[in-house]
Amino acid sequence: MPKSAMIDIELSHATLTYLGDEQPIFSNLNVHFESGTCTAILGPSGCGKSTLLRYVAGLLKDKVHFGGQLTSSPEIDIAQSIAYMAQQDLLMPWLNVIDNVCFASKLHGEKITPNITKRALNLLNKVGLESKAYQAVSELSGGQKQRVALARTLMQDKPIVLMDEPFSALDAVTRYKLQNLAASLLGGKTILLITHDPQEALRLGHQIVVMNGTPATLHPITPPTNAVPRDIDAQFASIQQQILTLLEVDNDTAQ
């Protein structure tokens, strides 16, 4: 498979129950993740967003009962085609910035060739951190660490990118800048972006779904019509209100 492959993912009638539990976490999810687009998945804490992402990443196979289908077009091993970026910068504090960016290569036992170093420096340049390549990650700010995490995600050059609340620990301005950066650098990939922030979903989602209820189901939201990353405008307010109303319903039933 060429690394630049475009992969569509289809989840149909997906129901997932952790082994030992009676109640499914989610039930009868149907969603198409189109290549070259970002699907923003919103939902209250605990509704099953990370579970969904971890299942797609192939991390839960022996821990759950899964009904339904997870397929890709073209047919590939989805788990092998994924780069993952999480909220907590999963950086290795004892490594410097560039070694963190090259971490996946190191993990696979690859030799860090001058070409790999060149690619890593090029990506660090794109996220504005080339000058910090040989600095310890522990010396970086939260926003800088997430930019390293973004460079590392890009370094893996996978067609599918799963992002689990990647920007939620950041202040509003840093988050805004990183959203723009991610949108410009991740173009062409199939992106699943989990967020609890309606505004983030509206800025970045070509497709937006709200996950709620027990077991959780998915509710599509019609996104604004302009191109991503979207700036906040009047249309945002009314869609944001629709999303908040859906999120609120779940809180009420949980109490």
Residue 162, phi then psi, degrees to nearest 5: -105, 125
Greatest alpha-carbon span in the chain? 57
Min. distance of Cβ 36 from Mg ion in angstroms?
Answer: 25
Nearer to ligand ADP, 106 or 196 (CB): 196
Residue 198 interacting entry, from ligand ADP, Mg ion, none, C-beta within 5 to 8 Å by type: none
- Burial-class residue 182 by CB neighbours within 10 Å (0-12, 13-18, 19+): buried
Does residue 217 belong to the site contacting Mg ion (CB under 5 A)? no
Nearer to Mg ion, 184 or 251 (CB): 251
Measured in whole angstroms, the distance separating CA 88 from the mean position of its chain's CA atoms is 12
Nearer to Mg ion, 35 or 50 (CB): 50
Min. distance of Cβ 59 from ligand ADP in angstroms?
Answer: 10
Contacts 24+ apart (CB under 8 A), 55-63: 55/14, 55/16, 56/9, 56/11, 56/82, 56/162, 56/192, 57/82, 57/84, 57/162, 58/82, 60/16, 63/18, 63/19
Residue 43 interacting entry, from Mg ion, ligand ADP, none, C-beta within 5 to 8 Å by type: ligand ADP
What does the binding site for ligand ADP look like in residue numbers (CB under 6 A)? 18, 25, 43, 45-51, 63
Interacting positions 33-72 with Mg ion (CB under 5 A)? 50
Q: What's the one-letter identity of residue 211? A: M
Q: Which residue is nearest to Mg ion (CB)?
A: 50
Min. distance of Cβ 10 from ligand ADP in angstroms?
Answer: 21
| CA-wise closest residue to 9 among 45, 53, 46 | 53
Q: How many CA atoms lie within 13 A of 250 on its CB side?
A: 21
Whole-angstrom distance, CA of residue 5 vs CA of residue 35: 9
Give the 3-state secondary structure of residue 56: helix
Residue 149 interacting entry, from ligand ADP, Mg ion, none, C-beta within 5 to 8 Å by type: none
Min. distance of Cβ 49 from Mg ion in angstroms?
Answer: 5
Min. distance of Cβ 78 from Mg ion in angstroms?
Answer: 20
Nearer to ligand ADP, 117 or 214 (CB): 214
Nearer to ligand ADP, 63 or 126 (CB): 63
Does residue 174 belong to the site contacting Mg ion (CB under 5 A)? no
Residue 192 interacting entry, from Mg ion, ligand ADP, none, C-beta within 5 to 8 Å by type: none
Whole-angstrom distance, CA of residue 207 vs CA of residue 29: 15
Whole-angstrom distance, CA of residue 40 vs CA of residue 194: 6
> Which residues on adjacent β-strands are paired with residue 23?
none
Residue 236 interacting entry, from ligand ADP, Mg ion, none, C-beta within 5 to 8 Å by type: none
Min. distance of Cβ 41 from ligand ADP in angstroms?
Answer: 9
Nearer to ligand ADP, 168 or 235 (CB): 168
- Tell me which residues touch Mg ion (CB under 5 A): 50
